[in-house]
Amino acid sequence: MEAEVTMIKRFISYYKPHRLLFFIDMGVALLASLLAILMPAMVRTLLNTYIPEKNIHAIITSFLIMALIYLVKMVFEFIRMKWGHILGVRMEYDMREDIFRHIQKLSFNYFDNTKTGHIMSRISNDLNTIAEVAHHAPEDLILSLFLVIGSFFFMFRFNAVLAVIAFIPLPFMLLWGIKYGGKMRQGFRRVRRKIADINSAVENSVQGIREVKSYANEDLEIEKFEHVNIHFKTAKEKMYTIMGIFYSGFHFLADMYYLMVIAGGAWLYLEGRITPSDIVAFILYVNIILNPIQRLMNFTEQFNQGAASFERFTEIMDIEPDIEDRPHARTFRPVRGRIDVEHVWFKYSSSPHWVLQDIHFSVPEGKSVAIVGESGAGKSTIVSLIP
């Protein structure tokens, strides 16, 4: 739990440079939601009062106000879609800058033990997913709560008994989302790992295509890729099985939600405790409530995808270089002088044999030195050891 809280705090820190965009996005979204909540109440007034009284002026005025509301909502939707996505893009830009700068600081040991395809997957696919979550997740969460609370405020004002009936299915729908949310998160995490394996397999094969063709090794490469591809296919099939159960169950609960409200409204109408216009308003509010519930379900899916991607992002960001500068270390630019390599020994952690043994040489200032030798003699290793 503590690790998840820390991860969320790190994610929120990327919003800070873009606070203005975030508040614009949330502000117009909340205003659009407020207008949506007012619509069923206006329809109820129209059916209860203006139409029975045949008040043509009030009816026309109501329709004009509704049309104006829809026009304003359209403007708000444009602002939300444009600047909300720009918010996500700018956060993605910041994260990509951070991870690329961090990768430049990592030691050779990291690149020796990490496939290039895995690194590429984190820089491209994972950050693209995080950008979508950065825009949609907080918006879906905040707006959903606002729409549900606002709708029930009016529903309890119109008829408390039917409002209680309308509230009963909600906990079951939320529990359903929570139950399968964790399973989807695990599924998305597996798929992300398999995507990285796919990228790595393709990158390695294409990078060494000359050697593959020279040794007529195409069949072996195809077999290796097929093995990785099968695991990717299996992971996605399992994930979509979980998603199928999740969404089919949710839609069943949503259909039962409508049925309960209509049945409850019919019962109250037969007892003379509710008017037909109230039932219409309740059905409209149920439709409004189901939209944020669907948003919460989407939030669960998006959050799980984003959490899996952000975990992979932080995995790299948390890797410390083997060699780090001291705090407040001085930077010397340009550096001039002679390079001395004295009695250097080196071996890899995976091998007991020394690659370099008691190496020493000097490079005078302003001179170039060629390091020559047979393949595998350690030329690249020597150069890599020079800071």
Please write the tens of the pLDDT for every residue from 346-376. Answer: 777 767 778 787 888 888 887 888 787 766 6
- Cα 303–chain centre separation: 6
**pLDDT for residue 264:** 92
Question: Between the ranges 71-80, 213-222, 293-302, 303-312, where is the mean pLDDT highest?
Answer: 71-80
Q: Which residues contact 51 (CB under 8 A, 6 or more apart)?
A: 59
The residue type of 183 is K
List C-alpha distances in Å: 185 to 160, 243, 316.
38, 11, 20
> What HEC string does 58-79 produce?
HHHHHHHHHHHHHHHHHHHHHH
Q: How far apart are CA 116 and CA 207, in angstroms?
A: 11
309-346: b or e for each residue (b if 16 or more CB lie within 10 Å)?
bbbbbbebeeeeeeeeeeeeeeeeeeeeeeeeeeeeee
Contacts 24+ apart (CB under 8 A), 186-192: 187/235, 187/238, 187/239, 187/242, 187/243, 188/239, 188/304, 188/305, 188/308, 189/308, 189/311, 190/235, 190/238, 190/239, 191/232, 191/235, 191/236, 191/239, 192/121, 192/125, 192/126, 192/308, 192/309, 192/312
Quickly state the pLDDT bin for 387 (edges 50, 70, 90): low
Instruction: Provide the β-strand partners of residue 341.
Output: 361
**Cβ atoms within 10 Å of 107's Cβ, excluding its own:** 14
Instruction: Please say if the pLDDT value at position 85 is more than 90.
Output: no
Quickly state the pLDDT bin for 163 (edges 50, 70, 90): very high
Task: Look up tokens 């709708």; give the residue.
Answer: 151
Q: Are 135 and 80 in contact (CB under 8 A)?
A: no
Alpha carbons within 13 A on the beta-carbon side of 355: 16
Alpha-helical (H) ranges within 14-53 are: 19-45, 51-53
Instruction: Please say if the pLDDT value at position 303 is more than 80.
Output: no
Beta strand spans in the chain (E):
339-346, 356-363
**pLDDT for residue 9:** 81
Q: How far apart are CA 372 and CA 357, in angstroms?
A: 16
**pLDDT for residue 60:** 92
Give mean pLDDT, residues 211-230: 79
Instruction: Please say if the pLDDT value at position 57 is more than 80.
Output: yes
Query: Which of 74-78, 99-103, 318-322 shows the lowest per-residue confidence on average (mean pLDDT)?
Result: 318-322
Please write the tens of the pLDDT for every residue from 120-151. Answer: 777 777 888 888 788 777 887 788 888 889 99
Instruction: Please say if the pLDDT value at position 323 is more than 70.
Output: no
Q: How far apart are CA 168 and CA 159, in angstroms?
A: 15
Q: Are 94 and 16 in contact (CB under 8 A)?
A: no
Please write the tens of the pLDDT for every residue from 226-245. Answer: 888 888 888 888 888 888 88
Q: Are 251 and 142 in contact (CB under 8 A)?
A: no
Instruction: Please say if the pLDDT value at position 251 is more than 80.
Output: yes
Q: Are 346 and 319 in contact (CB under 8 A)?
A: no
Give mean pLDDT, residues 281-305: 79
Instruction: Provide the β-strand partners of residue 339.
Output: 363
Quickly state the pLDDT bin for 194 (edges 50, 70, 90): confident
Alpha carbons within 13 A on the beta-carbon side of 349: 5
For the chain, list the domains and their CATH numbers. Answer: 2-317 (1.20.1560.10), 339-385 (no CATH)
